[in-house]
Copies of this chain bind each other. A is one copy, B any other.
Amino acid sequence: MKKHYVLLLLYAFSYTAIAQTIQGFSPESAQDQLALEAQFDAKLKKENLDDWMQFMAAEPHYVGTEYGKKNAEWMKKQFESWGYDAEIDEYQVLFPYPKLRLLELTEPTTFKAALAPEPIAEDKYTQQGEALLPSYNAFSTDGDVTAELVFVNYGVPKDYEELEKLGIDVKGKIVIAKYYGSWRGIKPKLAAEKGAIGCIIYSDPADDGYVQGDVYPEGAFKPETGVQRGSVMDMPLYPGDVLTPGYGATKNAKRLHRKDAPTITKIPVLPISYADAKPFLEALEGPVAPASWRGGLPVTYHIGPGPAKVHLKLAFDWQLQPAYNVIAKLKGATYPDEWVMRGNHHDAWVHGASDPVSGMVALMEEARAVGELAKAGKKPKRTIVYCAWDAEEPGLIGSTEWVEDHQDLLKEKAVVYINTDGNGRGFLGVGGSHTLETMVKEIAGDIKDPQTGVSLVERRAAAAKVSGRDSSFGLSALGSGSDYTPFIQHTGIPSLNLGFGGESSGGEYHTIFDSYTHYTRFKDPGFEYGVTLAKTAGHITLRMANADILPFELNAWYKTVSEYMDEVIETTNSMRKQAEKQQQLVAEKAYVLAADPKDNLKAPEAESDVPYLDFSPLQNALASVKVSVQEFSKTDFTSLSASKQKMVNAKLKDLEKALLSDSGLPRRPWFKHQIYAPGFYTGYGVKTLPGVREAIEQKNFKEAQEQIEKLAKTFTTFKSKLDELVKMG
| A residues apposed to B, CB below 8 Å | 205, 210-215, 219, 221, 288, 294, 296-300, 426, 451-452, 454, 458-459, 461-463, 465-467, 503, 585, 588-594, 596-598
Contacts and interface: CB of A to CB of B under 8 A. Distances in A.
Contacts of A458: 593
A597 B502 CA distance: 12
B214 A585 contact: no
A463 B597 contact: no
Contacts of A297: 298
Contact of A213 (B219, B288, B451, B459): B288
25 contacts: A210-B300, A211-B294, A211-B300, A212-B288, A214-B288, A214-B300, A215-B300, A296-B296, A296-B298, A298-B298, A454-B593, A458-B593, A459-B593, A459-B594, A461-B590, A462-B589, A462-B590, A462-B592, A462-B594, A465-B585, A465-B588, A465-B594, A466-B590, A467-B594, A503-B598
A490 B457 CA distance: 58
Contacts of A598: 503
A219 B454 CA distance: 55
Nearest to A599: B503
Nearest to A593: B462
Contacts of A462: 588-594
Given A462-B590, A591-B466, A298 B210 contact: yes
A451 B597 contact: yes
A719 B8 CA distance: 78
Top-4 shortest CB links A-B: A462-B593, A463-B594, A462-B590, A466-B594
A292 to B, nearest CB: 12
A210 B288 CA distance: 10
A676 B454 CA distance: 50
A91 B406 CA distance: 94
A5 to B, nearest CB: 31
A227 B597 CA distance: 30
A210 B588 contact: no
Contacts of A205: 298
A352 to B, nearest CB: 24
B210 A299 contact: yes
A452 B592 CA distance: 9
Given A426-B596, A462-B593, A463-B594, 4 more contacts: A210-B300, A212-B300, A214-B288, A462-B594
A589 B219 CA distance: 29
A384 B402 CA distance: 89
Contacts of A596: 426, 503
A594 B458 CA distance: 9
A216 B575 CA distance: 42
A215 B590 CA distance: 31
A597 B452 contact: yes
Contacts of A589: 462
A340 to B, nearest CB: 32
Contacts of A503: 596, 598
A459 to B, nearest CB: 5
A594 B468 CA distance: 12
Interface centre among A297, A300, A463, A465 (most CB of B within 10 A): A300
A426 B598 CA distance: 11
A109 to B, nearest CB: 16
Nearest to A211: B294
Interface centre among A299, A452, A466, A597 (most CB of B within 10 A): A466
A426 to B, nearest CB: 8
Nearest to A278: B298
A588 B466 CA distance: 11
A667 to B, nearest CB: 35
A221 B294 CA distance: 15
A40 B596 CA distance: 28
A294 B294 CA distance: 13
A454 B588 CA distance: 12
A174 to B, nearest CB: 23
A456 to B, nearest CB: 11
A466 B211 contact: no
Contacts of A585: 465-466
Nearest to A471: B590
A585 to B, nearest CB: 6
A426 B596 CA distance: 8
Contacts of A211: 294, 300
A215 B212 CA distance: 25
A215 B298 CA distance: 12
A461 B584 CA distance: 14
A686 B214 CA distance: 39
A441 B251 CA distance: 80
Contacts of A426: 596
A130 to B, nearest CB: 31
A590 to B, nearest CB: 4
A334 B210 CA distance: 69
A300 B588 CA distance: 46
A582 to B, nearest CB: 10
A399 to B, nearest CB: 33
Nearest to A466: B594
A426 B296 CA distance: 29
Nearest to A452: B593
Contacts of A219: 300
Contacts of A593: 452, 454, 458-459, 462-463
A593 B448 CA distance: 12
A288 B210 CA distance: 10
A423 to B, nearest CB: 16
A590 B213 contact: no
Contacts of A215: 300
A221 B503 CA distance: 37
Contacts of A467: 594
Nearest to A604: B466
A588 B464 CA distance: 13
Contacts of A300: 210-215, 219, 221
Nearest to A274: B298
A67 to B, nearest CB: 33
A597 B463 CA distance: 13
Contacts of A591: 462, 466
A219 B301 CA distance: 13
A211 B302 CA distance: 10
A192 to B, nearest CB: 31
